[in-house]
Structure 1
Amino acid sequence: MTAVSPIVPAAGGLSLGTPPAVDLDRLLAGMDTMAGQRPVAAQVVAVASTDDASAARLAEVLAGDVALAGRVMKLANSAYFGMTGRATTLQFAVTVVGFTAVRTMATVALTCLDDEEHLPEGFWERSTGVALAASVLAPRSGTRPQDALCLGLLAQVGAALLHGEDPAGYRALAAAHRSPAARRTAEVCRYGISATRLSAVALEQWGFPPVMVGPLAAADDPAAPDGALLRVASEIGARHADPAHEPVPVERLGGGLLREDGVAAVLEQVAAAAEDLRRALVC
């Protein structure tokens, strides 16, 4: 993989300073350093990827990281899964949330996405909104709701990576370009790659399956059907998290996946579970 350098300054005449060269090799290789800092999370990611993974084995590995195990327990007992205290053992919690969700939570820990202090403003408010919206809409696109939830949770990994490289610049960019589409365009102008596309590259390198990588890779193309779910979910996530967001008609983003008159019902479901989901992931 070659390094990606920025092409032109950010759109709109905003002065953000000299754009840094984004070296994807170096960014993604940082996962090895992170793995050394969170060895149990790294082992969970590896074990969950194997063909012979079992709930008992994953629970055994998880038990070595009290914080991560606690988050899996909280997720299993969250409003999203509807268990409300009935998931009382780690093995049962793994069964409830599924291997993909456990792997997603371990990736969150590995990439330090559970440390909100070093993330873009509103990162988890937007991420949980996108994740829950994607989960609600998943059956309409032939996707499993749990896979869609994980897709939404990891969709902004690229934003976190870019923010880590260029904190002040990325904060200014995000403040000036609030809509998902405008922000993607500004990211490409400044860094040579959008955050969504960087998320796809990262998940592919880290061994996530095509069902997770494909929609991320297609999200930037408004004509790509595979990206429709994430585009619509991103719009709903933006409406949920940002009162100043200027709505984009969802029909334009999803090719019939959702009509504008159906958005309010999805937003209601997102609002009901978003804070509970955020607490399970980062608190």
Structure 2
Amino acid sequence: MRRRVERLRELPTLPAIVQRVVDALDRPDGGHAEAAALIETDQVLTAQLLRVANSAFYGLSGKIASVGQALTVLGTTVARSLVYSTSVLDLRIELRGFWEHSVGTAVAAGTLARRLGLPHPEEVAGAGLLHDLGKVVLYRQAPAAFATVLEHAASEGVRFGEAERALFGVDHAEIAGWLLGRWRVPSRLLEPVVFHHTPERAPTAPVETAVVHVANTLVRAYGYGFGGDRRIPAIEPSAWDRLRLGARDLDHLVTAFETALWRACEAVAGA
């Protein structure tokens, strides 16, 4: 089973249509029309974008009827992250909690980034959406290993990542890094995913990584979704210091994104 996990290093490259969509979205002159035309050829991508754009979180329920409109509402970075995640995501019931947790972390990260005045909060939200991508990849590519990790985490009372490392020597953050690296994802999106448990290790995007780290922890503490175990990790002191946050800020942060988190419930319910 360990060899099976190690073979995840050889994960396939991004599906051709997804790569073309991402390339169009990343064009500096704006490629939304081209991206929309490509997305409309894929039923799953189209459904996911329209469902999220029409969710209560964006306040436009039932008003977004086209992929082009959805791209405008979501923004380039969130749309790109949805395209990435949809290409590997399995929404069957046993992964529902993981998807809820990812959406909650995206909402919390975006809210915190805006509160801190970061220049591109939508990018931080996109990283939050993808932060546990490695867990989904493990489930899809090595389901027996995934089940073993869940059992080990529950029986030993450890975190999902600790169980992964004990059993296989790697964790979901590293697995996501393998995949996103093969997909040539920019470092500003990759680092918050790879280092969301170890924010002090992020070399070029330390603030964004610290935001995703804090958001992940707060959403776990809030009980939204399921991250693979029921333990609530401590927030790394380096993340608090990097964001210049103190314990007193916690109540203000929770209040700021509490409503948004529960709006995200409706986004997930429609996904």
Same fold (TM over 0.5): yes
Matched pairs, number: 254
Matched, 1:274 2:264: yes
Match in the other structure for 1:93? 70
**Structure-to-structure mapping, 1:109-128, within 5 angstroms:** 109-111=86-88, 113-117=89-93, 120=95, 122-128=97-103
Q: Which residue is 2:43 aligned to?
A: 66
Aligned-pair identity (%) = 24
CA contact (8 A) 1:41 1:65 kept: no
State the shift of 1:267 in Å. Answer: 5.9
Cα-Cα RMSD: 3.1
User: Conserved in 1, the CA contact under 8 Å of 2:106 and 2:127?
Assistant: yes
Q: Cα distance, 1:207 vs. partner?
A: 2.2
Any stretches of 5+ residues in structure 2 without a counterpart?
none
Structure 2 counterpart SS, 1:245: coil
Displacement of 1:59 in angstroms is: 1.6
Shift of 1:195: 0.6
Contact map agreement 1:232 1:254 (CA 8 A) in 2: yes
What amino acid sits opposite 1:173 in the alignment? V
Relative to 1, partners in 2 of residues 1:47 and 1:18: Cα closer, same or farther, differing over 3 Å? closer
Q: Does 1:184 align with 2:161?
A: yes
Deviates more, 1:265-274 or 1:157-166: 265-274
Residue 137 of structure 1: CA displacement? 1.0
Tell me: CA distance 1:145–1:175, structure 2 relative to 1, closer, same or farther (3 Å).
farther
One-letter identity of the residue aligned with 1:127: S
2:184 aligned with 1:207: yes
Over 3 Å counting, the alpha-carbon distance change for 1:182 and 1:203 in structure 2 is same
Structure 2 distance, partners of 1:250, 1:262, is 16
1:231 paired with 2:213, answer yes
Normalising by the residue count of structure 2, what TM-score does the alignment of the two structures yield?
0.78
Alignment of 1:1-283 (within 5 A): 20-26=4-10, 28-29=11-12, 31=13, 35=15, 40-111=17-88, 113-117=89-93, 120=95, 122-139=97-114, 140=116, 142=118, 144-177=120-153, 182-221=159-198, 223-224=200-201, 225-226=206-207, 227-239=209-221, 240-242=224-226, 245-250=230-235, 252=237, 254-256=239-241, 257=243, 258=245, 259=247, 260-262=250-252, 264-265=254-255, 268-280=258-270, 283=271
Whether contact under 8 Å (2:56, 2:263) holds in the other structure is yes
Q: CA deviation at 1:134?
A: 1.0
In the alignment, residue 239 of structure 2 is paired with which amino acid? G
> How many angstroms apart in 2 are the aligned matches of 1:231 and 1:58?
31
**Displacement after TM superposition at 1:248 (Å):** 4.1
Moved more, 145-154 or 162-171: 162-171
SS at structure 1 position matched to 2:230: coil
Distance 1:18 1:76, change over 3 A: closer
Q: CA deviation at 1:102?
A: 2.3
CA distance in 1, matches of 2:58, 2:73: 8
User: Where does the alignment leave 5 or more consecutive residues of structure 1 unmatched?
Assistant: 1-16
Name 1:3's counterpart in structure 2: none
